[in-house]
Amino acid sequence: MGRLDKKVAVITGGASGIGAATVKRFCAEGAAVVIADLNDVGGRDLVESIAATGGRATFQRTDVTVEADIRAAIDRAVTTYGRLDAIFNNAGLGGAIGPLEETSVEDWDRTQAVLLRGVFLGIKHAIPHLRAAGGGSIISTASVAGLRGGAGPHSYSAAKAGVVNLTRTAALELAKDSIRVNCICPGGIHTPLLTSRFPGGSEALTPLLSMIQPLPRPGYPEDIAAMALFLASDESSFVTGAAMVVDGGFTAGGSMIPMLPQAVEYAGPSFEPVPEKA
C-alpha cells in the first residue's frame, strides 16, 4: 500500500528540480499525476520514465501565469484520472534580480505573475474539484526568502512572502470544505534553477550550499518532495495554514551566500538557456 494510493495530483513545474522529484515520489506512492510545465522535453521524458516503472503520469503544457492553462491542467487530471485530491503549486524561477531602483516594472510583474499569481490560480481552480472529492490538499512552494530578509532577490522574496500569507488566508476559507492549504519553505536546494546560473555549476555550488545552514550538506529536491508527500497524504489530515520550513536549520541560524549574480537581469525557468552577457 502506497501513501497516496488512488489519489490524483497536479504538480506545476513538475518537469525538473523539486517538481520532478515530487512527481517521482508521488507516483511511487500510488498517485496519478499531471505534470504541468512549459518544459515539453523534460515533461514528456518524465512521463516515459514514470510509465517504465509502472506509474501513472500525464504531461500538460502549462504556463502558470495564464488562467486558461491552469484550468486546463486541472481539468486534464479530472478527465484522465477521474478526480483531484491534491495540487502542488510549485512552478518557479529567480525572476527580477538587482537593486530596486534599477528593476523594471516589467521584470517585477513577470516575477510576481509566475510566483504568486500562478499560486492563486492553482488554488482557485483546484477548489471546486477538491470540494467535489470531499476535501483534499493544496500545497505551494514558498521559500525561506518569504520569511526573512536577505535570503533572496527583492521581487522573489516579496512573492514568496505573499505565498505564505495566501496559504494562511486560503486555509481559513477552505477548512469548512476539508481542504487543507499549506506551503513549503525550502532553504538552499541543489536544483537546476541554481546550478544553471551559478559560476562553475554544480561542482562549485555544492560546497557553498553545504555552508549556509547548520546541517552540513546541501538540500536536495527529494527533501522537499518528502514534505510534499506528507502534506498530500492523509498523515497530515490535521495540518492546515502552515508554512513548513525545510532548510537544514537556515532560519534558526544561517548566513545566506548570494546564489545569483547581483547585476540587473531576469532569471527565467531553469530549462531556458542563460542569455550571454553583452
Kindly list the catalytic residues: 156
d(CA 171, CA 235): 17
Identify any residues that bridge with 264 across adjacent strands, giving them in sequence order.
none
Q: If we measure between CA atoms, which residue out of 44, 49, 45, 43 comes closest to residue 27?
A: 49
Identify any residues that bridge with 59 across adjacent strands, giving them in sequence order.
35
- CA quadruple 85, 28, 231, 156: dihedral, nearest 10: -100
Q: What are the C-alpha distances in Å from 42 to residues 5, 15, 35, 155, 200?
A: 25, 5, 10, 27, 23
**C-alpha cell, 111:** 516575477
